[in-house]
Amino acid sequence: MIATLDNSRITRLLLVSASLVVVIAGLRAFAEPLSAFFLAVLIAICVAPLRATLLKRGVSRGVALAIVLVVVIGVGAALVTFIGVSANQLIRKLPDYEQQIQGLQANVLGQIERYGLSEQATEAIETFDFRSLIPLAGNILRTIGDSLGNVLLIFLFLLYMLMDAPNIPGRLRAVLPSDSRWLEKATDFIFSVQRYMILRTVFGVIIAGFQTVVMLLMGVDFAVQWGVLAVITNYIPNVGFVLGLIPPLVVTLLEHGPLAAVALLVIYSLINTIFENFVAPRFMAEDLGITSLFIFLSLIFWTWVLGASGALLAVPLTLLVQIMLLKGEDGVKVLNALISEKD
């Protein structure tokens, strides 16, 4: 009897594992359209309060939909235009940094000789051409610009979602009882995502604002662009701060030298630490309920599955899995206990 139960559990575990492999393989195979779909869902959740407010004030569904779409299109068009113009400006500026790169390379070689390091290290520095980073950076910027082509697909998903959104509650009530735990979980998930996005946006703008002022005072090229980049990378958990710091740090190093770069690094880190560790927690009524370790693991996983957009979607998708599939389920209590930050 015991052996039969053990075999049954093993069989169930194998079936679940095989199903997960199939699902993950499917997600990776359709990563591009799925990324657009998930981004559209995230935007729809974020603009839902605006539409609800308009409907409560007596605005018709059609007009409310039109207003929401105009807001989304306006913000999206402004962001895409800003990114495109900034990328082109930076691409044109890259050749101007060639002289600074040559000077930096010569300085590094001088320091190596000064401290008597091995000839192999000197030879390695001489062999590596720092100027090769210029076309590499240009290719990266062009790739980012090409990826903006998914904006149309995201908009189409969003349009149909917003058009169909008023009918979804009625359909769910028709097939689910009023006290269904799935309705409760869906409400909890939507609220958690909205609160997370609001907090990340508010504190991202504040942090980026202070950092932009610092860069402007230091005379760093493209200070405003790096500030916008800091806001965007702020949505990426754990590593977003580093990703937003690298470009202005490199530009500062080339323009103003190592001391200015170190100063920017220290000030940048100080601003981020103060807001993220001391200011932001005071405004958070409750945490996300997910451990920092699992957020980092989810960042790696979703980026691997969906590509670059997975970094932006990591927390919302992890909340989806944690709330909709794991929360309150007896069969996965151990896994939920490892994921959840709450006792």
Q: Classify 290 as helix, strand or coil.
A: strand
- pLDDT for 266 equals 92
Residue with tokens 């710091």, as numbered in its chain: 245
CA distances 296 to 160, 213, 299, 336, Å, are 33, 30, 5, 16
Q: Express each pLDDT in 41-58 by its tens digit.
A: 888 888 888 888 888 888
8 Å CB contact between 200 and 319: no
Q: At what angle do helices 181-218 and 240-256 cross, to 10 degrees?
A: 10
Give the pLDDT of residue 312. Answer: 84
Coil, strand or helix at 340: strand
Looking at residues 128-138, what average pLDDT do you find? 50
How many C-beta atoms lie closer than 10 Å to residue 321's C-beta? 14
Model confidence at 136: pLDDT above 50: no
Q: How many residues does the chain have?
A: 343
Per mean pLDDT, which range of 127-141, 151-165, 270-284 is the poorest?
Answer: 127-141
- Asked whether residue 104 carries a pLDDT value surpassing 50, the answer given is yes
The Cα 66–Cα 228 span in angstroms is: 27
Residue found under tokens 């323009």: 255
The overall pTM is greater than 0.85 = no
Comparison of pLDDT for 211 and 132, the residue scoring more: 211
Taking 80 as the threshold, does the pLDDT of residue 84 lie above it? no
CA–CA separation, 135 vs 229, rounded Å?
A: 21
Nearest CA to 283 out of 195, 208, 218, 223 is that of: 195
Q: Measure CA of the first residue to CA of the last residue in the chain; give whole Å.
A: 35
Residue 16 tokens, joined: 């679940």
Of 88 and 284, the structure prediction assigns the larger pLDDT to 88
The percent of residues in the chain predicted with pLDDT above 70, rounded, is 69
pLDDT digit string (tens) for 142-200? Answer: 545 545 557 778 888 888 888 877 777 667 667 767 667 777 788 888 888 888 888 88
Mean pLDDT (the chain, rounded)? 76
Query: Could you read off the pLDDT of 301-336 as tens digits, one per residue?
Result: 888 888 878 888 888 888 888 887 766 555 555 555
**Cα angle vertex 49, ends 147, 340, to 5°?**
75
pLDDT confidence of residue 234: 85
